[in-house]
Structure formats: structure tokens, C-alpha cells
Amino acid sequence: MSAPDPYAGFPAGFFTRDDERPDADFYGPPRLVTHIDDAAVAAVGDLYAELGIDGSARAPRRVLDLMSSWVSHFRTPPAELVVLGMNADELAANPAATERVVHDLNADPRLPLPDDDVDAAVCCVSIDYLTRPIEVLTEVGRVLRPGGTLAITFSNRCFPTKAVRGWLLTDDAQHGTIVAELVRRTGRFSEPVVELRTEPGVGDPLYAVVATAR
């Protein structure tokens, strides 16, 4: 008997993209820019501090930043920050990083980290680019220590040719519902909480989906 389809119920083609060329080609040139405005960036840092996963926490934290770049938006970087992304130059420029991993999660959703390795995992304005998000988030649940925090943030900006089609066809509120459902389907987390972290109608919206590893 074949395993059940983890994406059952999502429309056909939901996780396909207009540009299906290898992501390594698209992300080859470094982009040392931010993709959300200053208020949204600050909201990300505020969230990490409230969750106790940055360097202001009493106990040192080891954090995984998925689909990372040259900046990770921590107000105070954690003691250890593993940045995983597509562009070596961008990761090399990240001053908060203590470990750097170049890895294409759409080519291989497995995380090159051991079980129970990190205290928290974050993914900032990138979840919409994953073509196999449930497999990736299941891996996040594996590498998180029990009780560890998952924090996914997103806005309404994206590279439209690389975002999955289902994301482009849904609105901000629906995006929160989608991300929460993806987390839920891994079976590895508490019930995800969706929250708008910026002032409604002002600047770039910043949404967060937060859950705890079981």
C-alpha cells in the first residue's frame, strides 16, 4: 500500500512555479538587499526576542535560519546561528552566522543536521518558495529539540516567478492558513498560531506562524 499523499486536498499545481529552472541558476547572483521594509524587519526582531530565541535569552541558544541570506534580523544574535541558504556570498556576508550551509531545499528537502540539534528554527519571507514544504518542515521538526520553537514569518512581497502558484493566487490571510496547515501536516508540532505582527494597513505586513516541536 502506498503512503498517503501529504498534500492531499491542495489543488493540482499548487506547489509548481512559473520558473521551474534550477534554483541555483536564479539565486546565483548575490542580492545584498532586504525584501521587507524597516518596520517589518523590526517586527521580525521583536518576535525573536519575545520568543526568547535570540541572544537576549538567559540560556544560550542554537538557532537554524532556513533559506537565509546576508542578514537574519535578530536584534541580538543567538550564541550559535546556523544559516542555510542558496548563495555562498550572501551567507558569508551574514555577520550573525556562526555556521554556514549552502543547500537547495527544493532539490533535497533533507537538512544536513543531526536529530535534536537546535533550540529554534526560523524562516523569514521564504516559505512561499518551497515546492516540498511539508517534507522540509518535517525535517525541521527532526532537528529541533523537544520544546524547540519554529517561527515562520512572511509578507506580501516575493519573486513571483519563483513563488509557488498557490501562494500567488491567495491573499495574506489565506497565506497564514496555508502555512499553519503545512506545519500541522508534519505531525511534529503543537497547534500553530498565526499572528499579524505589524500595524494593519501601514507599510509591509509581517505575519508570523509559530509552533513548538513535540
Would you say residue 6 lies in a domain? no
CA pair distance 50, 74, nearest whole angstrom:
11
| Residues spanned by the domain of 203 | 23-212
Within 8 A by CB and 6+ apart from 177, the residues are 194
| Cα Dmax for the chain | 51
> Which pLDDT does position 40 carry in this prediction?
97
Q: Do 120 and 150 form a contact (C-beta atoms < 8 A)?
A: yes
Would you say residue 110 lies in a domain? yes
Would you say residue 60 lies in a domain? yes
Would you say residue 186 lies in a domain? yes
Handedness of CA 208, 120, 157, 74 (dihedral sign): positive
> Which pLDDT does position 28 carry in this prediction?
82
DSSP state of 168: H
> Which pLDDT does position 119 carry in this prediction?
98
Would you say residue 92 lies in a domain? yes
Give the full edge-to-edge strand order of the sheet including 207-212. 99-102, 80-85, 62-66, 118-124, 144-154, 207-212, 193-196
| DSSP string over 121-154 | EEEES-GGG-SSHHHHHHHHHHHEEEEEEEEEEE
Total domains in the chain come to 1
Would you say residue 157 lies in a domain? yes
> Which pLDDT does position 188 carry in this prediction?
98
Instruction: Please list the pLDDT of the chain residue by residue as tens digits (214 residues).
Output: 678 899 999 999 999 999 999 999 998 888 767 889 999 999 999 999 999 999 998 899 999 999 999 999 999 999 999 999 999 999 999 999 999 999 999 999 999 999 999 999 999 999 999 999 999 999 999 999 999 999 999 999 999 999 999 999 999 999 999 999 999 999 999 999 999 999 999 999 999 999 999 9
Write the CATH number for 81.
Answer: 3.40.50.150
pTM assigned to the model: 0.96
CA pair distance 120, 140, nearest whole angstrom:
9
Q: Residue 148, exposed/middle/buried by CB under 10 A (0-12, 13-18, 19+)?
A: buried
> Which pLDDT does position 145 carry in this prediction?
98
Would you say residue 54 lies in a domain? yes
* Amino acid letter, residue 183: V
Would you say residue 2 lies in a domain? no
CA pair distance 78, 96, nearest whole angstrom:
8
